[in-house]
Structure formats: C-alpha cells, structure tokens
C-alpha cells in the first residue's frame, strides 16, 4: 500500500485529480483509485512515467519499506488474476533477498510458495482457455482434450491416471518427524482415501481422533465404509458425526459434501444452508460455493446466482474485499448463469 500512499500524497501535493493522473498515464481513473487504496499496484512499466509526472525519482517513488513490500505482495494474491512477468521477477528478487538475510524467514518462504502457486493457477487457466479453443475448432482433437483435462486436474486416460503417491510419501516422512501433527494427519488421510487406500488410512484416522475430538473421525470412518461399498453404514456414520457434534458447522458442511456425491442434492442443500447459517463473521464461504454448484446441477439458476451474490456480499462485509479477482470471478459466474435464463 506504500506506493499507493506515495502516489496519493504526490497527487494531492500537485493539486491534481485521479482523472488527471490517469489521462497522463493512459490508464483508467479506477486503476489510479485502486493504487491509492492498496487494492492493486501500478505495472512496473508505468513507474518511469509516474515518477516523471510527479517530478521524483523512481527510487523515491518505489523505495518501499520491508513491511510495505510484504503488504503489496500479499494484496496482489487476492486482487490480481494474473501477475505481470516483470512484477513476478521483482517479487521473487525481493523475497529471495529476505531469505538471503534470514534463512529461516517463514513469511518469505510462504509468499514464495503462494507466488509460484498463483502463477501456476494463472497458467493453467490460460492453458484451459487455449485448449477449449482447440476443441471448439476441432472437437475430436486428442491433444486439445488432454491439454484441457491436464489444465483442470482431470483424469485423461490410463497412462494419465492421477494419484497422490508423492504427497502420501512426503507426509509419511513428515509424520515420522512430527508425530501427532493434526494437519499432517489430515493431509495423509485425505490423500489415502482419494487413492482408495482405505485400510492404510485407518491407523491414521484412529490417530487423528486422539489428537482432536471433532466430527472428522466419524466422517472418515464413513468414507472408508463408503469406499468399500457399504453405503448404508457410511450414511449412518456421517449422520452420527453430525448428531454427536451438532455445534460444529463443519460437520454439516462435511456431510453435505458426501451427500452431494451420493446425488442426494436436496439433503445436501439443507446441510450447506445450515453450515452458512451457523457461522459467525468472518464466514468461510466454501459452503456457498458448493451451494451454487448444487443449485446449478439442479438447473435452479436463480438460486445459483443468489449464492454467488451472497459470496460477493460476504467478501465485502467480512473481509473488506469489494473489487479484484475474487469479486470479478463471481461476477463472471453470475453472467454465465444468467445466460441459462435467456
């Protein structure tokens, strides 16, 4: 936010409006407003012209304090769909310099992980768009088909079958060094169940129950029963998870996820709504994302639109996010859903 404050202070000192700055730089007044509020930052290629307009050096303009650099980077993850390549390089350089100063700088490593994940997600989105264009032009194009599924984490065929062997091996070693670690146990159970390694998951399920008493153990026991084909036993265990932990909104969301897989959509909707209703601010909006998906699957597009509008409302009221990619993605989703009502 520091550079935004700098621009705002220099603009006020120069006695000009945001529109004046925008016109000189060839950008919108809204872009300048976002810089000043910290919602986004100017593209690095604009810095020389910004400095020239205000009669300062780039160093004066962009010599961000360390905390302000971190704030700028962390805002970028929330507000920017795609990070400009030069901004990406600049960010990597700053974070690497922090690691060079302190090899145990957790915040720097965390932001580097987020940065590369953000770019990967952005690249996958672009790959998906290009692959869809291939399939529009040639529906039977195998390369486009494989590229689309890979970009969207889909299963492409026998030799492309996805599993979580590497992740599981990592967390086995992790738990040897960090026994009883809840997040490590959670991760290995989720991946073992996803790969159908049910018997292998059972000892970890028992262990996580010793670490934390919540609805998760009964949910996982139900998942094992379900994976082995005992659907009625699975449903009993999932119901018992909610009955024994009625004050946990997560229990309703977890059961809803499983009911959705069974195609029991009306029951899933009731649980998702209960999950959202029970939460206090700030709301975890995963339940609303799932509600929107279920309502769309039921072709109830009006309700799916309403779910997305509620997400936008919670982003603003609970997290102070009123623009940027998180909001824009919901607006695009609303427009897509509206097309089904025409």
Residues 196-217: pLDDT tens digits? Answer: 999 999 999 999 999 998 999 9
User: Is the pLDDT at 336 greater than 60, yes or no?
Assistant: yes
Rounded to whole angstroms, the Cα distance separating 263 from 259 reads: 6
Say which DSSP state 179 is in: T
pTM: 0.66
Least confident of 37-46, 104-113, 259-268: 37-46
Average pLDDT, the chain: 88
Q: Of 28-37, 183-192, 205-214, where does the model show the most confidence? A: 205-214
Closest CA to 337 of 310, 316, 307: 307
pLDDT tens-digit series, residues 131-142? 889 888 887 787
pLDDT at 226: 96
Residue that wins the pLDDT comparison between 312 and 122: 312
Mean pLDDT of 72-82: 82
Within its chain, how far is the Cα of 13 from the centroid? 39
Domains of the chain: 2-117 (1.10.260.40), 280-342 (no CATH)
For residues 189 and 205, is the Cβ–Cβ distance under 8 A?
A: yes
Answer whether 41's CB lies under 8 Å from 4's CB. Answer: yes
User: Contact 147/127 with Cβ under 8 angstroms?
Assistant: yes
Contact 19, 29 (CB under 8 A): yes
Cβ neighbourhood burial of 273 (10 Å; 0-12, 13-18, 19+):
middle
Helix, strand or coil for residue 160?
Answer: helix
* Residue 43, token pair as written in the block: 């593209």
H-helix segments, the chain: 2-14, 18-25, 29-37, 47-54, 58-62, 66-79, 85-101, 106-137, 142-151, 165-177, 182-194, 198-211, 216-227, 231-244, 249-261, 265-278, 286-297, 301-319, 325-338
- Cα(232)–Cα(229) distance, integer angstroms: 9
CB 70 within 8 Å of CB 105: no
Per the CB < 8 A criterion, the answer to whether 40 and 31 are in contact is yes
Q: How far is CA 288 from CA 159, 291, 307, in A?
A: 35, 5, 6
- Residue 198 in tokens: 């049910």
């Amino acid at each position: 936010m520091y550079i935004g404050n700098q621009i705002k202070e220099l603009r006020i000192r120069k006695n000009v409006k945001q529109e004046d700055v925008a016109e000189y730089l060839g950008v919108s007044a809204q872009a300048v407003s976002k810089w000043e509020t910290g919602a986004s930052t100017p593209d690095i290629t604009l810095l020389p012209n910004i400095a020239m307009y205000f009669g300062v050096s780039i160093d004066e303009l962009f010599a961000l304090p360390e905390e302000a650099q971190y704030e700028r980077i962390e805002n970028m993850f929330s507000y920017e769909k795609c990070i400009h390549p030069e901004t990406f390089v600049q960010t990597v350089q700053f974070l690497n310099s922090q690691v060079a100063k302190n090899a145990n700088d957790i915040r720097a490593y965390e932001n580097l992980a987020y940065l590369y994940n953000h770019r990967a997600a952005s690249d996958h989105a672009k790959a998906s768009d290009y692959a869809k264009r291939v399939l529009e032009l040639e529906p039977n194009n195998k390369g486009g088909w494989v590229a689309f599924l890979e970009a969207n984490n889909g299963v492409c065929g026998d030799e492309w079958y996805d599993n979580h062997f590497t992740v599981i091996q990592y967390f086995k070693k992790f738990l040897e060094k960090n026994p009883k670690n809840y997040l490590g146990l959670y991760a290995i159970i989720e991946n073992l169940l996803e790969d159908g390694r049910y018997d292998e998951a059972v000892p970890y399920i028992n262990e996580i129950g010793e670490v934390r008493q919540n609805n998760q153990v009964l949910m996982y026991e139900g998942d094992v029963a379900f994976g082995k084909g005992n659907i009625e036993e699975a449903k009993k265990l999932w119901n018992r998870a909610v009955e024994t932990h009625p004050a946990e909104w997560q229990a309703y969301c977890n059961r809803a996820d499983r009911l959705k897989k069974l195609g029991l959509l009306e029951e899933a909707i009731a649980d998702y709504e209960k999950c959202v209703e029970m939460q206090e601010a700030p709301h975890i909006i995963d339940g609303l994302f799932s509600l929107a998906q279920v309502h769309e699957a039921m072709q109830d597009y009006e309700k799916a639109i309403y779910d997305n509008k509620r997400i936008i409302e919670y982003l603003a009221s609970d997290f102070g996010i009123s623009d940027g990619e998180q909001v824009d993605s919901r607006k695009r989703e609303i427009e897509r859903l509206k097309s089904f009502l025409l």
